[in-house]
């Protein structure tokens, strides 16, 4: 436990509103508003933008929950299916959210003749901001805990480390918005950098189950390999492939890489 706080923002009779849910809703609103604003600047159809935001959010939440349950509590599908629906208690997979949103949003854009890479770039602000505040929501739910160390601070503040990664990526996004970049560069490079930073830093100090290689240093409070660390090479390779498929051109039309 990092700090002793209540997971509830307030209660109205039997209805309890979780901080986690509030932060999640705020991230949806911020991301959707930015996407809508950018789309209207280019005179994209308002109904298309609103429908797209709703489709991506719903699909992302479904994907996030299903992936979390599948990789952590697959027995819930048969023994306690109601528990699968309790997303307000936390338990969402970042990768599941991305996959769900991608599988729904990408073809929707193509069907309406809109470049999905351009739309994907506009989601980076919401993804970065969401990662910052949802990790704070994890503190209230007492989840995404760091490993114990032998240092004076005890447990690694894995949630705050995750929030810091989100902040770095948000600042990077805002800076790159001042540059001329090809459609898709912002999104796919965000996925690339986020996955590497999370695997190398956040997951290393996070108290997650280990697979294949079970290495734990109790003094430093680090461990390898978590499931996220195992799939990182595949996610990074896919993001790089998708970026290259956009043409891989950067400022002023010159080919560039991410380094």
Binding site residues, as ranges? Answer: 135
DSSP strands (E only) in the chain? 8-12, 15-18, 215-217, 222-224
Tokens found for residue 159: 């949630």
Could you please report the per-residue DSSP string of 90-121?
----HHHHHHHHHHHHHHHHHHTT--HHHHHH
User: Residue 243 burial (CB < 10 Å; 0-12/13-18/19+)?
Assistant: buried
Residue 219 to residue 232: CA distance in whole angstroms: 25
Distance CA 257, CA 259 (A): 6
CA dist 84 and 73 (Å) reads 9
Residues 224, 211: Cα–Cα separation, whole Å = 8
**For residue 148, what are the β-bridge partners?**
155
Tokens representing residue 124 in the block: 């980076």
Beta-bridge partner residues of 146: 206
């Amino acid at each position: 436990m990092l700090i002793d706080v209540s997971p509830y923002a307030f209660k109205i009779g039997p209805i309890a509103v979780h901080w986690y849910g509030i932060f999640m809703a705020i991230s949806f609103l911020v991301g959707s508003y930015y996407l809508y604003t950018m789309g209207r600047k280019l005179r994209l159809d308002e109904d298309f933008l609103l429908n797209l935001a709703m489709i991506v959010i719903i699909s992302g939440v479904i994907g996030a929950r299903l992936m979390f349950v599948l990789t952590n509590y697959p027995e819930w599908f048969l023994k306690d299916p109601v528990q699968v629906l309790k997303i307000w208690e936390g338990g969402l997979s970042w990768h599941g959210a991305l996959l769900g949103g991608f599988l729904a949003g990408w073809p929707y854009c193509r069907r309406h003749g809109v470049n999905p890479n351009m739309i994907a770039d506009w989601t980076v602000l919401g993804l970065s901001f969401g990662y910052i505040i949802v990790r704070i929501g994890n503190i209230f739910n007492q989840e995404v805990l760091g490993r114990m160390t032998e240092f004076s601070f005890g447990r690694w503040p894995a949630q705050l480390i995750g929030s810091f990664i989100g902040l770095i990526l948000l600042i990077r996004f805002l800076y790159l918005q001042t540059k001329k970049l090809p459609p898709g560069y912002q999104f796919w490079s965000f996925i690339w950098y986020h996955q590497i930073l999370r695997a190398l830093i956040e997951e290393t100090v996070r108290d997650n189950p280990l697979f294949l290689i079970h290495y734990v240093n109790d003094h430093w409070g680090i461990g390898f390999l978590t499931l996220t660390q195992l799939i990182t090479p595949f996610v990074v390779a896919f993001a790089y492939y998708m970026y290259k498929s956009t043409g891989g051109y950067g400022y002023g039309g010159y080919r560039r890489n991410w380094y």
